[in-house]
Amino acid sequence: MMFLRLFAIGSGLGIGLLIPTESLAQNLSGIANTVSGGLPSFGGGMQAIVSAVSLIIKQLTLLVDVLATLMIVAAGLKLIYRAADDQMEAAKRTSAGSAVAVMLVHLTPRFVDAFYGQSGAAGATVLEGNVSEGASVLSAEVLGIVAWAEVIVATAAVLTIIISGLKAIVNYGDESGVQQLYRTVFAVVAGILLVVLKRIIVATFGLPTEGIGLPGSPNISRAIAKGVDIVEGLLLFTALVAVAVIVYGGITMILSIGKEDQFGNAKNLVIRVSIGLVVILVSLMLVQFVENIVV
């Protein structure tokens, strides 16, 4: 038995030393690939390290996404079974933290690419030292975060208005509920207008509205044009409401023939609204005239 072992070892050494065959792992960069066999090929040198780290980051990103989703679902289930104020706050913190974690994990490779871009590195799209290209990457990602936040804000605004309306319906007859509804709707509409008009506000101060760029001269024309559009929309909506009221008043007059009080009230309503409609139409003409001159 010992003789067979020595013979096998000696034969192997002899073949390895005497037969000029090419080794599969002649350098350090090929050792891991040759030994690992089925693992992905990372190449050699710094490229191998970058590729290996990129693969690890991709796997960890998937793991973080799954864990964040499970945490949000668990927080929602706790909130359903334990309806309490502390559970509501805990659910908010968990959801916000999970969303931020997912966002940071997905943005980290792009930020690394923007700040430390390397020529030929795995996944890198920015060359080393290209400051403008790196800034454009950061700008695109930041604008993406802002767009995502706008969607969240718009959704929350609509839900807030719906919830306030339901509360006003439940508390029918309570003046405080109606006043709260008015305040909520006014605040939400004002917030939505600020979000929608952000590009106009930015352009007014001479800042670029798309991508990156140097600040320019302040320009108030876009703000004036958008303001005129808003005023025109409000006037048209008011005119539509006035026409509907006139139609309602006319129908009431027809149905109130023989009832002097109701007929007189409907007649006065039609007259007042008609005068208001004329004023609205004149105002709309003046606004369009000013728009043609200024803008």
User: Which has more pLDDT, 289 or 39?
Assistant: 289
Query: To 5 degrees, how large is the angle CA 139–CA 141–CA 142?
Result: 65
Average pLDDT over residues 97-124: 70
In a domain, 19, yes or no: no
Length of the chain: 295
228 shares its domain with 275? yes
Which sign does the torsion angle of CA 161, 163, 166, 168 carry?
negative
pLDDT of residue 111: 77
Total number of domains constituting the chain? 3
Distance in angstroms (rounded) separating the CA atoms of residues 126 and 228:
43
Distance in angstroms (rounded) separating the CA atoms of residues 213 and 210:
8
Could you tell me what percent of the chain has a pLDDT over 70? 61
104 shares its domain with 51? yes
Distance in angstroms (rounded) separating the CA atoms of residues 41 and 8:
33
Highest mean pLDDT among 29-33, 87-91, 93-97, 185-189: 93-97
**Three-state secondary structure string covering 20-79:** CCCCCCCCHHHHHHHHHCCCCCCCCHHHHHHHHHHHHHHHHHHHHHHHHHHHHHHHHHHH
In a domain, 231, yes or no: yes
What domain range is 188 assigned to?
Answer: 130-219
pLDDT in tens, 98-111: 888 888 888 877 77
User: Which has more pLDDT, 76 or 19?
Assistant: 76
pLDDT of residue 21: 44
pLDDT in tens, 12-65: 444 444 444 444 444 444 444 444 444 444 445 556 676 777 777 777 788 888
Single residue among 194, 219, 244 that ends a domain in this structure? 219
Considering only CA atoms, give the Rg of the chain.
Answer: 35
pLDDT in tens, 210-266: 655 555 666 677 667 777 777 888 888 888 888 888 888 888 888 777 777 777 888
In a domain, 22, yes or no: no
- For 198, the token pair is 């952000």
pLDDT in tens, 200-211: 777 676 666 665
Distance in angstroms (rounded) separating the CA atoms of residues 128 and 124:
10
How large is the greatest C-alpha to C-alpha distance in the chain, in angstroms?
130
pLDDT of residue 122: 45
pLDDT of residue 262: 78
